[in-house]
Amino acid sequence: MAFETIIVEVEDHVALIKLNRPDALNALNSELLGELAQALKEADANDKVRCIVLTGSEKAFAAGADIKEMSEKTFVDMFLSNFFAGEGDAVVNTRKPIIAAVSGYALGGGCELAMMCDFIIASDTAKFGQPEINLGVIAGIGGTQRLTRFVGKSKSMDMHLTGRFMDAEEAERSGLVSRVVPAKKLIDETMGAAQKIAEKSIIASLAAKEAVNRAYETTMTEGILFERRLFHSLFATEDQKEGMAAFQEKREAQFRDK
Ligand code: CAA
């Protein structure tokens, strides 16, 4: 399918999805969010894709939900359309690993979108923030919940109440991003991480993603039981036999997703 507000390329088992509304700093309007949901669904269904990278431009990953689109909406409009519910679900329901490659602004819905991905690699120019308070509203795609789990209550409150931005160094120190790289190397570094993921058994990748996500949804005891059962179940796969045989034979594993 041809898209207007995103660019999708599939290369070496990685789908690279680039948000592409440069004139609006990739503000997330309904069209972009709808196309992103569709692209993620297609990537999830495409056997050639084993990992997904979501990125923006050098200046902005995304500067938030589209303020111009939202400004005249009423409570009834927002409530009846359940604004943002479906689009947010589309990202978190994607089964394949998604890495956010963030350069420049990741604000409001942009920060929330990055946090919905499985992990974030940031360029040294990245700026994260939940500045909705400056617009007389609050975060609406999970920011109050996800940012708090990433960086703790104190810093999350600071960000949501003052609307200040966090730079890449602070974001890494606080656990929001997994690594920081020079802006020019962001895509290469992120594609490299995606390639590494793409080389693994996809059965193990999906299991690892499900298990880590359980840490956010359940108690420690239930999460550990869930992990242990998934771990046990992987012994029913050929990829487990291949991975462990390859280790002992001192060679690279050839996973076949079986
Ligand atoms: N929505 C709509 N348009 C946006 C936008 C947004 N979130 N962010 C930037 N733009 C547009 C600007 O209006 C401008 O368009 P025009 O040229 O037509 O005026 C263009 O993008 C470039 O922006 P600036 O001229 O403002 O660029 P700058 O470099 O001076 O500033 C910025 C960059 C600091 C990111 C500034 O654009 C800004 O503060 N943007 C808004 C950030 C924000 O408040 N995000 C939260 C949105 S609400 C939300 O996300 C709710 C939620 O949780 C679901």
Question: pLDDT tens for residues 56-79?
Answer: 999 999 999 999 999 999 999 999
* pLDDT given for residue 163 in this prediction: 98
pLDDT band at 192 (very low <50, low <70, confident <90, very high): very high
The token pair at 136 is: 């007389």
Q: Each residue of 202-221: pLDDT tens digit?
A: 999 999 999 999 999 999 99
Cβ neighbourhood burial of 107 (10 Å; 0-12, 13-18, 19+): buried
Q: Is 126 in the pocket of ligand 1 (CB under 6 A)?
A: no
* pLDDT given for residue 91 in this prediction: 94
Catalytic, out of 37, 65, 106, 114: 65
Q: Which domains are seen in the chain, by residue range?
A: 6-198 (3.90.226.10), 201-249 (1.10.12.10)
Q: Which of 142, 150, 67, 57 is nearest to 106 (CA)?
A: 57
- Strand positions, DSSP E, 84-228: 98-102, 105-107, 119-123, 127-129, 165-167, 179-181
Mean pLDDT computed over 30-42: 96
Cβ neighbourhood burial of 113 (10 Å; 0-12, 13-18, 19+): buried
Q: Is 28 in the pocket of ligand 1 (CB under 6 A)?
A: no
Cβ neighbourhood burial of 229 (10 Å; 0-12, 13-18, 19+): exposed
- ipTM of this predicted structure: 0.98
Q: Which of 248, 110, 101 is nearest to 188 (CA)?
A: 101
CA of 27 to the centre of ligand 1 (A): 7
Q: Is 64 in the pocket of ligand 1 (CB under 6 A)?
A: yes
Q: Is the pTM of this model over 0.80?
A: yes
